[in-house]
Structure 1
Amino acid sequence: MSDGYTRACSLSEVPDEGALGVEIDGTPLAVVRSEGEVYAISDICSHAEVNLSEGEVEDGTIECWLHGSCFDLGSGKPINPPATQSVATYAVQIDGDDVLVSLDTQSSKG
């Protein structure tokens, strides 16, 4: 851990235009790669409490597989119903092949 960042996974584990579910200190996260950027968001949908990491990633968004709500990866805001609440987003740093996430720092992307 450095400067409040914890290793979440290897960059090579995160699929292009896809997500990987991980857990840091008991917090479920989806590490997502979309359009060349890497994001970390809460892995729990704000509407149905299912894993967002199992959903489809496209154009900077992730879609919940259960009811189809899409969330902006940079802000965590829902783009369409039924979700109305944002999900948490976290700051990410890439160090070689390591994806580092700060649970204390909200992302400023998006």
Structure 2
Amino acid sequence: MKIARRGELAPGKMKRVDHDGRRLLLANVDGKIHAADDTCTHEDASLSTGSLKGDIVKCPLHGSRFNLCTGQVLDDPAEENLRTYPVRVDGDDILVCLD
């Protein structure tokens, strides 16, 4: 499913996309696009307003960090991994499989 255009997401940047009632986080890590749920698994905080360092996103509320490649939680207080989604880039279109 087309979620965004590649030109909307510069390397090292991330953005929130609302699609069909889901809040998704898109991140451009060195030219590779990653997609995950935008809501921290600890509390209702938007990860897109946090910080991105490499493929690690840090929650702005309590500092939990997640690996965007695997969804693995790296720091407390979050204990549940982040759901990630397969991404394919077709030309300038960013396609995310939400199944």
TM-score range, shorter chain: over 0.9
What amino acid does structure 2 have at the position aligned with 1:80? D
> Aligned pair 1:15/2:10, yes or no?
yes
CA distance in 2, matches of 1:46, 1:84: 7
The question of whether the paired residues in 2 share the 8 Å contact of 1:91 and 1:102 is answered with: yes
> Is the counterpart of residue 81 in structure 1 residue 76 in structure 2?
yes
What residue ranges of structure 1 are gaps of 5+ in the alignment?
1-5, 105-110
Structure 1 counterpart SS, 2:7: helix
The ranges of structure 1 where at least 4 consecutive aligned residues each deviate by more than 2 angstroms after the TM superposition are none
Identity %: 34
Partner residue of 1:90 out of 85, 88, 91: 85
Give the residue type in structure 1 aligned to 2:39.
Answer: I
Aligned-partner Cα distance in 1 for 2:10–2:48: 11
Question: Is 1:53 paired with 2:48?
Answer: yes
Q: How does 1:52-71 map to 2 (within 5 A)?
A: 52-71=47-66
1:14-60 deviation per Cα after TM superposition (whole angstroms, max 9, x unaligned) = 13212110022111100111132110000000011111111111121
TM-score (norm 1): 0.85
Structure 2: gaps (5+ residues): none
Superposition CA RMSD, Å: 1.0
- Paired residue for 2:20? 25
C-alpha distance in structure 2 between counterparts of 1:99 and 1:24, whole Å: 13
